[in-house]
Amino acid sequence: MNPTTAAGTQLGQPNSTAIIFFLLFVAITLAITYWAARKTKTTSEFFAAGGGVSAVQNGFALAGDYMSAASFLGIAGLVATSGFDGLIYSVGWLVGWPVVTFLIAEPLRNLGKYTFADVVAYRLKQTPVRLSAAVGTLTVVSFYLIAQMVGAGNLIHLLFGLSYEMAVIIVGAVMILYVLFGGMIATTWVQIVKAVLLLAGASALAGAVLYKFGFNPLALFNAAATQYGPETLAPGKLVASPLEAISLGVALMFGTAGLPHILMRFYTVPDAKAARSSVFYATGLIGYFYLVTFILGFGASVLVGRQAITGVDKGGNMAAPMLAEVVGGTGFLGFISAVAFATILAVVAGLTLSGAAALSHDLWSSVVRKGKAPEHEQLKVARLASLFLGILAVILGVAFKGQNVAFMVGLAFAIAASANFPALLLSMAWKRFTTNGAVASMLTGSISAVMFIFLSPTVQVDLLGNASAPIPLKNPGIITIPLSFAVGILVSLMFPERESADRFAEVKHRMHVGAGKPTPPAPEAPASTAVGTPPTMPSPGKA
């Protein structure tokens, strides 16, 4: 169990196993894309896979969308370098999922079509609501994309020894192929393949670590405590101020319920019951994954050694790959590196598709063409939007090279929690919510979250090098989420909207009973909602 030195690692060398596994992944996913492209003929197929994804499939796809390289490499690295403090993130990233299950999944499925703006705009005036929802969506997607693309460039540079720009271009090009041709069907399957690979890779790695400790995690934790002192297993400096901790916590919790690429996935299942079950599966998979990160992090600190890890990458991001090399040799390192690459690819594909939905469905079809665009035009615009966003992602990735963008994921969550979540919840639950209220709430959320972060120590001190920041909070959630709710409620009360209140009964009916088919009240309910249908059904588009 001698910690290897940094010099002994193959990391960053062109690794044939890594390249073979990666090419294999790309080949399989492109084959899926080819198959999916032939099934993608309508906007419903392009954006929602025709509603034909089963609950289990969607559970894996949700997990695939959510488990980014940041959580795999980042959290394992944090736990490896700072022990218990890293676990606080593991816990925080999971607890948003129950909120999605309880408050969002079913109403969203029953009320919307492709985007969360469908739900907010249901009984309100289309144009202003869709415009402000698109602002929220596109800001979240852009910041998230920048963080992922820059992360991809750095990671792949470290893992494979490719140049940064080359890595960004490869990720961008493959992702564009998925989204442009295969739409949601391909993206869903890429997420599923990636989720299975990531879970299998992490499990194998954890198993190999535990093997060395008699399959007793406590022996591993104890070894970490012996090597680095008992404070490794106790909270350290990360949570210095309780207010800061709570603020981060609420942003993570409610941000998950406002992430456009996650929300969009609920339209891919046939009904509310499948939506509900799919979050249950996803929560289990993601929870398991974060529990495994406990093992990976402590395993890396004991078996690889903290010095060796930070010697390769100051942020500790290479802890998991280095651990793979120590327990399984170069071949395993290659496999884990390829999994990390695949992970990034899948996440950026999901993000791009949700951004394209906001551009084409919310802005073009609803605002510009007032819902009168014919189907083939909508599909063409959707594809153009995906291409545009994919190219933009590559440009942004190259433009932000060398910048510290880690805060952008936090920013994306803060905006999602403050701009999208309050309006979404109020539109489903509060009769007197109005167009003005929704617009005010969404814009207040976006603008205040961006402003607060700009004025926070993260940007002012860490990025701009100022001595202090006007706002001491690093994460603005605790202020901006209540603010966005308050503004939405106040503006709605100040300018009542009779029409919106009148249509609330319809919203309520549809939210619970579902859209139903536009058929007359036949005794035959839609098959997917009939009594006794198992939760995981329709298998339309399977190979």
Q: Determine if 387 is a binding residue for other proteins (CB under 8 A).
A: no
Exposed, middle or buried, 400 (CB in 10 Å: 0-12/13-18/19+)? middle
- The nearer residue to other proteins, 99 or 303, going by C-beta atoms, is 99
Least distance from other proteins to the Cβ atom of residue 219, Å: 6
3 state DSSP class of 242? helix
Exposed, middle or buried, 42 (CB in 10 Å: 0-12/13-18/19+)? middle
Of residues 3, 12, 161, 287, which one binds other proteins by CB under 8 A?
287
Distance CA(487)–CA(483), nearest Å, equals 6
Least distance from other proteins to the Cβ atom of residue 513, Å: 6
Of residues 380, 525, 528, 540, which one binds other proteins by CB under 8 A?
525
Binding mask 43-82 for other proteins (x = CB under 8 A): ----------------------------------------
Of residues 370, 512, 517, 542, which one binds other proteins by CB under 8 A?
512
Distance CA(502)–CA(51), nearest Å, equals 30
Cα atoms in the Cβ-side hemisphere of radius 13 Å centred on 82:
17
Phi-psi region of 57 (alpha: psi -120 to 50; beta: other; left: phi over 0): alpha
Q: Determine if 509 is a binding residue for other proteins (CB under 8 A).
A: yes
Residues 241-260 that bind other proteins (CB under 8 A): 241-242, 245-246, 249, 253
Distance CA(353)–CA(115), nearest Å, equals 11
3-class DSSP string for 121-164: CCCCCHHHHHHHHHHHHHHHHHHHHHHHHHHHHHHHHHHHCCCH
Q: Determine if 225 is a binding residue for other proteins (CB under 8 A).
A: yes
- The nearer residue to other proteins, 17 or 283, going by C-beta atoms, is 283
User: How far apart are the two ends of the chain, measured CA to CA in Å?
Assistant: 46
Residues 400-439 that bind other proteins (CB under 8 A): 429
What dihedral angle (degrees, nearest 10) is formed by the CA atoms of 166, 168, 173, 177? 150
Answer for the pair 176, 356: CB distance below 8 angstroms, yes or no: no
Q: Determine if 219 is a binding residue for other proteins (CB under 8 A).
A: yes
What are the φ/ψ torsions at residue 81 (nearest 5 degrees)? -90, -30
- The nearer residue to other proteins, 295 or 345, going by C-beta atoms, is 295
Of residues 3, 128, 235, 331, which one binds other proteins by CB under 8 A?
235
Which range in 10-18, 57-65, 87-95, 156-164 contacts other proteins by CB under 8 A? Answer: 87-95
Q: Determine if 459 is a binding residue for other proteins (CB under 8 A).
A: no
Question: How big is the chain by its Cα radius of gyration, in Å?
Answer: 23
Neighbours of 439 (CB within 10 A): 23
**Max CA-CA distance within the chain?**
73
Distance CA(223)–CA(214), nearest Å, equals 12
Which range in 127-135, 224-232, 412-420, 464-472 contacts other proteins by CB under 8 A? Answer: 224-232
Binding mask 143-162 for other proteins (x = CB under 8 A): --------------------
Q: Which of 172, 173, 149, 165 is nearest to 70 (CA)?
A: 149
Size of the site for other proteins (CB under 8 A): 57
Residues 289-348 that bind other proteins (CB under 8 A): 290-291, 294
Least distance from other proteins to the Cβ atom of residue 377, Å: 36
Of residues 5, 8, 31, 102, which one binds other proteins by CB under 8 A?
102
Distance CA(50)–CA(38), nearest Å, equals 13
Least distance from other proteins to the Cβ atom of residue 99, Å: 6
Distance CA(113)–CA(65), nearest Å, equals 19
Which range in 67-75, 138-146, 148-156, 226-234 contacts other proteins by CB under 8 A? Answer: 226-234
Distance CA(121)–CA(149), nearest Å, equals 32
Least distance from other proteins to the Cβ atom of residue 236, Å: 8
- The nearer residue to other proteins, 116 or 341, going by C-beta atoms, is 116
Q: Determine if 15 is a binding residue for other proteins (CB under 8 A).
A: no
Least distance from other proteins to the Cβ atom of residue 152, Å: 27
Q: Determine if 277 is a binding residue for other proteins (CB under 8 A).
A: yes
Distance CA(411)–CA(169), nearest Å, equals 24
Answer for the pair 458, 474: CB distance below 8 angstroms, yes or no: yes
Of residues 3, 12, 98, 161, which one binds other proteins by CB under 8 A?
98
Q: Determine if 101 is a binding residue for other proteins (CB under 8 A).
A: yes
In single-letter form, the type of residue at position 370 comes to K
Of residues 60, 66, 97, 144, which one binds other proteins by CB under 8 A?
97
Q: Determine if 518 is a binding residue for other proteins (CB under 8 A).
A: no
Least distance from other proteins to the Cβ atom of residue 280, Å: 5
Q: Report helix angle 272-303 to 55-66, nearest 10.
A: 40
Interface residues toward other proteins, by CB under 8 A: 84, 87-88, 90-92, 94-95, 97-99, 101-103, 106, 217-223, 225, 230-231, 233-235, 239, 241-242, 245-246, 249, 253, 273, 276-277, 279-280, 283-284, 287, 290-291, 294, 429, 508-509, 511-513, 521, 525, 529, 531, 535
